[in-house]
Structure 1
Amino acid sequence: MFSWINRDETKKGSNEVYDNVLQGLRKVYKTKLLPLETTYQFHDFHSPALDDPDFDAKPMILLVGQYSTGKTTFIKYVLESDFPGMRIGPEPTTDAFITVMHGETDRVIPGNALVVDSKKPFRPLSKFGNAFLNRFQCSQMNNTVLKGLTIIDSPGILSGEKQWVGRGYDFTGVLEWFAERVDRIVLLFDAHKLDINDEFRRSIEALKAHDDKIRIVLNKADMVDHQQLMRVYGALMWSLGKVLGTPEVARVYIGSFWNEPLRYDVNRR
């Protein structure tokens, strides 16, 4: 039934030489795995078929956190420059999923144009509808760091009564889609905002299936002195223990990712 199971074909393919690993993976997927997925309609109930952009895409990092935890400032710190469409403030400024990618010219590409671009790995996102696509954009810029990776900034997770107001699209579903495809998920916490509200709890639970990719960062750690920092660190681990539901204590990385001098420099030790 499956011609690719033939022993002669397998033996023949084992002697092929590829220029690089990605070329070999693409060839193996299209000749071996894709026919099996198509036969059993794998794409109808799990995930769509992989296209060439999925193999050519650079490693991706997803930033998740409540509003005003420093996600956008973190990207600015890594890139050492502003990026198109960037807004920073104490209020919820990022209301969209922003993909920061490398490009020859600095520009902002709206979500409707992104999902029809065959050279970018975002075509399956069209299933989340226009309400999401209006909250999705790509910031392209000619930056050396972006030649090796792509960073995805997510909307700030709201607290209080605002978290009960619908976003108009499946926010958790979008997070799950990105979580499956990114190589690293960075959960950012603010030293002054440790409460994990319902929307944030649902978001973390949606990411738990990919816990090997998750790194937890306590940001703005220079805003408190070293004694308060230890109390904040313990309180964060206690809150995470109730959400993650694992016997092991999650490792929390401490830092202050911005381009200003540290307020309490004693925390550097």
Structure 2
Amino acid sequence: MLRVTSKLPLRARTIRRCNSTWNWSKESKEVGDGGTNPPAPPTSIQSQILSTCTSLHTSIMPLNSNLRGPLERQSDISTSLPFVFLVGNHSSGKSTFINHVLGRSIQTAGVAPTDDCFTIVTPGPTDVDQDGPAVIGDPDMGFGALRAFGPQLVHHTRLKVRKDTATEGFMMVDSPGMIDSPVTPDSLWSAGSGAAAAAAAGNTMDRGYDFEGVVRWFASRADVILLFFDPDKPGTTGETLSILVNSLGGMDHKLYIVLNKADKFRKIHDFARAYGSLCWNLSKVIGRKDLPRIYTMCVPTGPPGGGGGGG
């Protein structure tokens, strides 16, 4: 009798467990697409798996940091806010565009090169300026990985927090205006994109840091990339063409080529000549028959955009 009574509760518990599992599977199939999809695991199991993975990741990170392992921190692969990245020739209108979009005079615009820094403009409760070491050392911003490009880049990076901007929820990153490099445009065009990469390889440190690598870093994390050209230099700057080939390759899905300052054209013939020159120059380095779409625009001058014509 003792043995019989001891087995009855065990069997009863087994039957109840089987019934519970069967009911869960049946309910999952009824909720799914006609019972064809496999049943989803209970929420408790999902939470347990997530908690276990998080615990393992947390325990591995100290060892990964000490050994410079392959795991990336979240701040190394994403930024605190999505951002628009602006690149292009000097005086092509990048800074003026930022001032116009944000509705405030934030960046200095001018005909000559006015800025040699990567400037991050982000919305905030108060107006604050931070230098490179401060912004790159802030783990919440997500720019810490730029430290690998050396102190020259760190000291040529800055953050501008501005309140009362016309848009919120995203950042805008302005880059130094690109200028003619020792690599002549004629040498790039005559030999194609392969020669562009080889010729520019020895000139990546002209600014004291790997400019092409930094542009690639920002571009890979940006949500939108705007490449600016202007009528005075429609694609004739060697550094711009080199950046297009070596730093922006493979990012066509978020790259927009802009021919700015369309209001400077007095005749349609002048516009056609500049547009055709830009298409011709781009065709020599893109390396495919189909050219990307080129957007033409102009920015209204005066307040609140903070003046026009520079960049």
Per the TM superposition, whether the score is higher than 0.5 is yes
Aligned residue identity for 2:176: P
8 Å CA contact 2:179–2:238 kept in 1: the answer is no
Q: Could you tell me how far 1:260 is from its partner in structure 2?
A: 4.7
8 Å CA contact 2:283–2:291 kept in 1: the answer is yes
Give CA-to-partner distance per residue, 1:19-39, whole Å, 9 cap, x none.
Answer: xxxxxxxx79x659969x98x
- The residue correspondences of 1:44-193 to structure 2 (distance < 5 A) are 49-51=72-74, 57-83=80-106, 86-159=107-180, 166-193=206-233
Q: Could you tell me how far 1:94 is from its partner in structure 2?
A: 1.4
**Are residue 218 (structure 1) and residue 259 (structure 2) matched?**
yes
Q: Report percent identity of matched pairs.
A: 33
Q: CA 1:54–1:227 in 2, change beyond 3 Å: closer, same or farther?
A: same
How many angstroms apart in 2 are the aligned matches of 1:191 and 1:180? 28
Give CA-to-partner distance per residue, 1:77-100, whole Å, 9 cap, x none.
Answer: 1111112xx221111111100000
SS at match of 1:227: helix
Aligned residue identity for 1:172: E
8 Å CA contact 2:84–2:222 kept in 1: the answer is yes
How many angstroms apart in 1 are the aligned matches of 2:177 and 2:56? 38
Counterpart among 259, 264, 274 of residue 232 in structure 1? 274
Q: Name the structure, 1 or 2, with higher relative contact order (CA <8 Å, separation 6+).
A: 2
Aligned residue identity for 2:256: R
SS at match of 2:248: helix
Q: State the match for 2:296 in structure 1.
A: 254
Q: CA 1:219–1:32 in 2, change beyond 3 Å: closer, same or farther?
A: farther
Q: CA 1:13–1:156 in 2, change beyond 3 Å: closer, same or farther?
A: farther
SS at match of 1:177: helix
Q: Could you tell me how far 1:12 is from its partner in structure 2?
A: 4.6
Q: State the match for 2:198 in structure 1.
A: none
Structure 1: 5+ residue stretches without partners: 1-9, 18-26, 262-269
Q: CA 1:90–1:52 in 2, change beyond 3 Å: closer, same or farther?
A: closer
Higher Cα radius of gyration: 2
Q: State the match for 2:41 in structure 1.
A: 11
Q: CA 1:34–1:64 in 2, change beyond 3 Å: closer, same or farther?
A: farther
How many angstroms apart in 2 are the aligned matches of 1:156 and 1:33? 45
8 Å CA contact 1:216–1:252 kept in 2: the answer is yes
Q: CA 1:160–1:148 in 2, change beyond 3 Å: closer, same or farther?
A: same
Aligned residue identity for 2:233: K
How many angstroms apart in 1 are the aligned matches of 2:215 and 2:115? 15
How many angstroms apart in 1 are the aligned matches of 2:249 and 2:270? 29
Name the Cα RMSD after superposition.
3.3
8 Å CA contact 1:237–1:250 kept in 2: the answer is no
Query: TM-score normalised to the size of structure 1?
Result: 0.76
8 Å CA contact 2:119–2:157 kept in 1: the answer is yes
- Return structure 1 stretches of 4+ with deviation > 3 angstroms: 10-17, 30-35, 43-46, 52-56, 143-146, 160-165
Count of residue correspondences: 235
8 Å CA contact 1:186–1:215 kept in 2: the answer is yes
